[in-house]
Amino acid sequence: MPPHTDSSAVSHPDQEEASWREGLKEGIPTLFGIGAWGLVVGIAMVKTGLTVPQALAMTLLVFAGSAQLASLPLIIANAPVWVIFLTAVVVNLRFVIFSALLAPHFSHLPWRQRFALGYVAGDMTVALFLRRYPSETWEPGKLSYLKGLLYPNWAAWQVGSIAGIFLGSAVPPEWGLGFAGTLAIICIMVPLTAGRAAAVGVAVAGVTAVLLNTMPYKLGLLAAVFAGMVSAMIVEETFAKVKK
């Protein structure tokens, strides 16, 4: 029987609470940034034409700022639903990797619970969890630690995003907040371009987006995402072979 299903390996309630508090403490420094990011995305949604109910539904159902911002220009351009959906999927492909990394830790859980955890998972929370638990072996309090990271992160995002939605609907257009989404993307992107592969991917994506700017339904953005991802993977693979 796998270690995580061994009846003798059961966490004590005090251990579970301690692990939850540990996860919460670890994630607290990121909550302000997550809330601010949500605020900017909320403002961007209503400033680009979504109604308050539409923006609220999007932030609650999608819960992915980069995908939401990537979808907005396509919605405004009346792009086909499949284009909007495909763009959001491509932008969020990183969550497939996150799922693959978390799956061995929690494969014993019911699928509904894994589905719920996947919904509230985020970039920083997954990274913090894997830093704390790099091994896939069972340890007491693992799930509680993850929840201590995920739930406050989700709440911070929703509070910030909903505040931004109502703020954005109240702020006059002449205040010029329509560029808020672009600024948010830049703030997130810059710290992630530390490596050569990431820098090349960003550069290729940027050039591709400019060159294909005239494509209908903003398909140039989708092509730019693909070109950037492929370029980054090629560079990463090339340098890996050179190091060997």
Does residue 68 contact residue 84 with C-beta atoms inside 8 Å? no
For the chain, the average pLDDT equals: 80
pTM for this entry: 0.68
pLDDT at site 3:
46
In angstroms, the CA 158 to CA 55 distance is 11
Mean pLDDT for the stretch of residues 174-189 = 57
Confidence label for 175 from pLDDT (cuts 50, 70 and 90): low
Rg, the chain, Cα only: 20
pLDDT at 217 > cutoff 70? no
Angle separating helix axes 13-47 and 142-170, nearest 10 degrees: 20
Q: Using one digit for the tens of pLDDT, what is the confidence trace for 125-137?
A: 888 898 888 888 8
In angstroms, the CA 148 to CA 72 distance is 31
Q: Using one digit for the tens of pLDDT, what is the confidence trace for 57-78?
A: 999 988 888 788 888 878 877 8
DSSP string, 105-122: HHTTS-HHHHHHHHHH--
pLDDT at 151 > cutoff 90? yes
Residues written for the chain:
244
Higher local confidence (pLDDT), 149 or 192: 149
In angstroms, the CA 79 to CA 126 distance is 32
